[in-house]
Chain A
Amino acid sequence: DSGVTQTPKHLITATGQRVTLRCSPRSGDLSVYWYQQSLDQGLQFLIQYYNGEERAKGNILERFSAQQFPDLHSELNLSSLELGDSALYFCASGRSSYEQYFGPGTRLTVT
């Protein structure tokens, strides 16, 4: 158990809908990272937040957004969902740039 929790574990929704994925980092970790793992793309970095502020951005679509709240939990919002958004979404947290501990992931299926 990494200490990082993600909810929900599974999510099935229709195209065009909007969903919110939630992540609670390990106690004391200020950084939260979001990654997407799809079949053909592997693990891709989406976005990083550090103590409530956006720190780095990867190949995150404009339809996707994230935020980190004062209690350090983070949410990833995915809107206007397309079939290609079906993937595993992982959250990771860490205290330094070189330590990242991953949650169990949220499996999103868009039908």
Chain B
Amino acid sequence: DQQVKQNSPSLSVQEGRISILNCDYTNSMFDYFLWYKKYPAEGPTFLISISSIKDKNEDGRFTVFLNKSAKHLSLHIVPSQPGDSAVYFCAASTNAGGTSYGKLTFGQGTILTVHP
């Protein structure tokens, strides 16, 4: 049961343009969403997050949008740079019930390639 889905396995973008990575979820109990970036042979690195009480969070070139009614979030990177080329994972968390405290449920990841 894939509760967090990233339907695009890969995305290719020209340097300077916008990259939009998408993520869908099915569990309405998720109340916090995160994006991680991963380079080969390294662990995931936290990028940006958003609480379910917000619909937008911005940090420099990175903006995450949350549409709760559609159970959809997206990560916008503007402008894209070659150094942004990596695998991007969407993750979700819920504090409901206490038993899953802190557990992250990850999507399958999207490989972003930014061409110079």
Contacts and interface: CB of A to CB of B under 8 A. Distances in A.
B46 to A, nearest CB: 7
A55 interface: yes
Nearest to B4: A42
A48 B44 CA distance: 17
Interface string B83-109: 000000101010100011111111111
Interface of B: 32, 34, 36, 41-46, 49, 89, 91, 93, 95, 99-109
A97 B103 CA distance: 8
Contact of A97 (B36, B101, B109): B101
B41 to A, nearest CB: 7
Most buried by B among A33, A55, A94: A55
Contacts of A33: 102-104
Interface of A: 2, 4, 31, 33, 35, 42-45, 48, 50, 55-56, 58, 90, 92, 94, 96-105
A2 B93 contact: no
Contacts of B109: 42-43
Instruction: List 10 A-B pairs, minimum CB-CB distance, nearest first.
Output: A102-B43, A97-B102, A43-B106, A42-B108, A102-B44, A45-B103, A56-B103, A104-B43, A98-B32, A103-B43
6 contacts: A44-B106, A55-B102, A96-B102, A97-B32, A97-B95, A98-B102
